[in-house]
Amino acid sequence: MLDASSERISTVWKIGNESVSAYPMPLVMGIVNVTPDSFFDGGSHNSPADAFEFAISLLEQGASILDIGGESSRPGSTPVSLQEELDRVCPVVESLAEFARIAEISGNNPRKFYISVDTTKAKVAEECMKLGAHIVNDISACTLDKEMPAVIARTEASVVLNHMRGSFGTMQQDFEPYQNVVEEVRAELLAQAKVLTDAGVEPARICLDPGIGFGKTVQNNLDLIKSVDILAKEGYPVLIGTSRKSYFGKLEGLENSDRLVPSLTAGIVSALGGASVLRVHDVRETVEALRVLKALRS
């Protein structure tokens, strides 16, 4: 179980001009929310300057990817305008890209990292790619903005397709029950991956995310985490984002948990199943846990 490669699970993701290996240690994507209302850290670094400083701290803690988001997807959240989202995320992306360039020129090169933009808007994705981003993390799997597949193809962005039914404001209150959540999520993600490849996106740039907490019951979420290997065997790297999510508080005995230890546990189980990327709030703790896994796999 420690050796995902024996199952012929994909652990390589093409980002920029590089094929990035996520074995023996998955990549850690640190969450940088430039929002006042995100569910865990909304308002903690709500200005571009504060978000940049926070992002640098996540790099120092061991993040390989920084995921910059300017619109909350928590249940009941209010959509933001295109211009407001651009104003929130573009300065952070530009500053991080400049930070990387200066470090490389000066010879004081930091550990390699990649910039992701968490958006469902094609215009935001395109502008951020121009500024130096590498990845588009779309919680709608590129379904909310019909221009997104063309933008991904044209800019040669890498992309995370997150599974979701309905809108992110109402997804927990109004979603169609699953008969077989693992099979339905797998089929729907693969169908959307085909939409992107038909649009000209290189398959190696596509990463799949089963959308833990996105319009799913507690049991749905548990079933998906237990079945990461089924999705990972489809030939695409898999991202799991289960950090600090509210469903942990609905598990017996965890009603008053701060959700850190449950998040780390779910992350390690996902990694054992073949996840290539863990999207987390707690970067330092996740990196330490994964270094133990790396040592055991070596």
* Catalytically annotated residues: 245, 279
**Angle in degrees, 0-180, between the axes of helices 122-131 and 82-106, rounded to the nearest 10:** 20
Distance between terminal CA atoms of the chain?
13
CB atoms within 10 A of CB 132: 17
Q: What are phi and psi of 143, to 5 degrees?
A: -105, -25
